[in-house]
Amino acid sequence: NAGVTQTPKFQVLKTGQSMTLQCAQDMNHEYMSWYRQDPGMGLRLIHYSVGAGITDQGEVPNGYNVSRSTTEDFPLRLLSAAPSQTSVYFCASKGNTGELFFGEGSRLTVL
């Protein structure tokens, strides 16, 4: 049972480069979300989706794009990376009991 799978686990970018963090879940969950984790700030919600074709902004959406073409996948795109986007990113999906299931995280460094 894979659960929530994120790739890549580690990535180093230069300022201005673009990249996509991939997230896939095999639990048929409608709700998926992306958080970033920074020291002393907990987790902050970037974007979320309540189902295929529907996305919305969270607390810190600037600099990030998302799309949801299928129930399984919810990629996060950085169009022009900035050092302020250096962080650990977590994808999560929500089960029927309201519990969030998290991926193992993607550590991004922007130089």
Partner 1 sequence: GNSVTQMEGPVTLSEEAFLTINCTYTATGYPSLFWYVQYPGEGLQLLLKATKADDKGSNKGFEATYRKETTSFHLEKGSVQVSDSAVYFCALRGSSNTGKLIFGQGTTLQVKP
Q: Residue 9 corresponds to which tokens in the numbers above?
A: 């686990």
Is 36 near partner 1 (CB under 8 A)?
Answer: no
Q: Residue 85 corresponds to which tokens in the numbers above?
A: 């986007």
Range 66-95, binding partner 1 (CB under 8 A): 90, 92, 94
* Residue 14 Cβ vs partner 1, minimum distance, rounded to whole Å: 26
Nearest CA to 3 out of 34, 24, 30 is that of 24
Is 27 near partner 1 (CB under 8 A)?
Answer: no
Indicate which single residue of 11, 44, 52, 63 sits in contact with partner 1 (rule: CB under 8 A).
Answer: 44
Site stretch for partner 1 (CB under 8 A), options 14-22, 35-43, 68-76, 79-87:
35-43
CB-based contacts of 71, cutoff 8 Å, min separation 6: 28, 29, 30, 51, 52
Dist. CA 34–CA 43, nearest whole Å? 10
Binding site for partner 1 (CB under 8 A): 4, 31, 33, 35, 40-45, 48, 50, 58, 90, 92, 94, 98-100, 102-105
